[in-house]
Amino acid sequence: MTKILSNADLIARHSTTGSRITLKIGSALLIDPETGQLRKAWLKSIARDVVFLRQKGYQVIIVSSGAIGLGRKILNLPPSRKLEDSQAAAAVGQIELATAYRSILGDLDIPMAQVLLTYGDTEERRRYLNARTTINRLLELGVVPVINENDTVATDEVRYGDNDRLAARVASMCEADCLFLLSDIDGLYSANPHKDPAARFIATVETVTPEIEAMAGAPISTGFGTGGMVTKIAAAKIASASGCHMVITNGTVEAPIQAWHDGARGTWFQGSGSPLAAKKKWIGASLDIAGSLIIDAGAVKALHSGKSLLPAGIVRIEGQFERGDILQVIAIDGTLIGQGLTAYGSHEAIKLIGHRSHEIEQILGYTGRNEMIHRNDLVTP
């Protein structure tokens, strides 16, 4: 399928309450190469883009680079690839970065939160779920999370190092509909156009094939950009697999999202299916089953009509499991009803068997989810 809708249609088509967009902003755009200072006027135009998207019904997540570049300038550190220098620079520069976002978004009455993630926070199930819950809550509260890699504690072997892939993981974790990578270039070309004047612009990528991967090269070194197209294509693979579309577009202009919406070009990477469909595919295909919930006839009926599984319908649990593990849901006669992600670990689940949702807080001592397995986390064959 090629992109037949206009950019404006695409924005309009996905925006229902709760739809999400992730914006990735690279260091090369944020920092003036001449002065090494933050480009505040441009960042103000990004804040206007955020307002624009929120008015269209989107929740917005920003993934922003820039901490290392800003910190280097403040500390007067010479350019070097030494990890400890980058980590020290990030510790200093992140304060500058977050302060700028707070002040610029704050001027438009948009609350922001700083979220620093490590590779492990996005890859280890427990930490992934914690990070996801926090970001979801921030979005529900109307806050714009401004996310960066926690470079200060990341070790060389287990870090993203580039925010393109981090942004794609965040987009996938938060089930975003679309990820925008704002770059110093308007999209993917058949080769690096800074080196090859015959390079062709690629408007749409349906699937990231080896041929597409071969087009991607490193950046021409301008001092701040890190990954070039290689990490952007890797990001496209992550986003697409979780049903998230991705756009690479030129971020050097003011309010680049509105510019794209009004027709500025970009490369459109088609996500496969919706984020929810991708999650359900993953749940349904998982063989890593941690335990089972045995449910009564009323719950079987509810699940068959597309409802969530409530603790009241559970008669027994089997296995030791944690929140976020995949469980099988089985009827009393042994029929497999489906599988899904549990909202409670076995220690809590055992206490909730047969209880009504309004009793959960009193039993556990805290307000938890009403459902044992939410319908969006449940696959029934």
Ligand X SMILES: N[C@@H](CCC(=O)OP(=O)(O)O)C(=O)O
Ligand Y SMILES: Nc1ncnc2c1ncn2[C@@H]1O[C@H](COP(=O)(O)OP(=O)(O)O)[C@@H](O)[C@H]1O
Q: Is 163 annotated as a binding residue?
A: yes
Least CB distance from residue 2 to ligand X, whole Å?
29
Task: Answer with the entry of ligand Y, ligand X, none that 220 interacts with (C-beta below 5 to 8 A by kind).
Answer: ligand Y
Q: Is 227 in the site for ligand X (CB under 6 A)?
A: yes
Least CB distance from residue 218 to ligand Y, whole Å?
6
Least CB distance from residue 261 to ligand Y, whole Å?
19
Interaction with ligand Y in 158-217: which residues (CB under 6 A)?
183-185, 188-189, 191-194, 215-217
Pick the piece of the chain touching ligand Y (CB under 6 A) from 21-29, 140-148, 234-242, 330-338: 21-29
Q: Is 149 in the site for ligand X (CB under 6 A)?
A: yes
Task: Answer with the entry of ligand X, ligand Y, none that 184 interacts with (C-beta below 5 to 8 A by kind).
Answer: ligand Y
Q: Is 122 in the site for ligand X (CB under 6 A)?
A: no
Q: Is 333 annotated as a binding residue?
A: no
Handedness of CA 230, 269, 284, 348 (dihedral sign): positive
3-state DSSP of the chain: CCCCCCHHHHHHHHCCCCEEEEEEECHHHHECCCCCCECHHHHHHHHHHHHHHHHCCEEEEEEECCHHHHHHHHHCCCCCCCHHHHHHHHHHHHHHHHHHHHHHHHCCCCCEEEEEECHHHHHCHHHHHHHHHHHHHHHHCCCEEEEEECCCCCCHHHCCCCHHHHHHHHHHHCCCCEEEEEECCCCCECCCCCCCCCCCECCEECCCCHHHHHHCCCCCCCCCCCCHHHHHHHHHHHHHHCCCEEEEEECCCCCHHHHHHCCCCEEEECCCCCHHHHHHHHHHHCCCEEEEEEECHHHHHHHHCCCCECHHHEEEEECCCCCCCEEEEEECCCCEEEEEECCCCHHHHHHHCCCCHHHHHHHHCCCCCCCCECHHHEECC
Q: Is 64 annotated as a binding residue?
A: no
Q: Is 231 annotated as a binding residue?
A: yes
Q: Is 145 in the site for ligand X (CB under 6 A)?
A: no
Least CB distance from residue 308 to ligand X, whole Å?
38
Q: Is 208 annotated as a binding residue?
A: no
Least CB distance from residue 39 to ligand Y, whole Å?
13
Q: Is 107 annotated as a binding residue?
A: no
Q: Cβ-closest residue to ligand Y?
A: 225
Task: Answer with the entry of ligand X, ligand Y, none that 194 interacts with (C-beta below 5 to 8 A by kind).
Answer: ligand Y
Name which position in 22, 122, 150, 226 contacts ligand Y (CB under 6 A). 226
Nearer residue to ligand X within complex by CB, 234 or 283: 234
Positions in the binding site for ligand X (CB under 6 A): 26-28, 65-69, 90, 148-149, 151, 162-163, 224-227
Binding residues for ATP, as ranges, are: 24, 183-184, 226-232
Positions in the binding site for ligand Y (CB under 6 A): 26-28, 183-185, 188-189, 191-194, 215-217, 219-220, 225-229
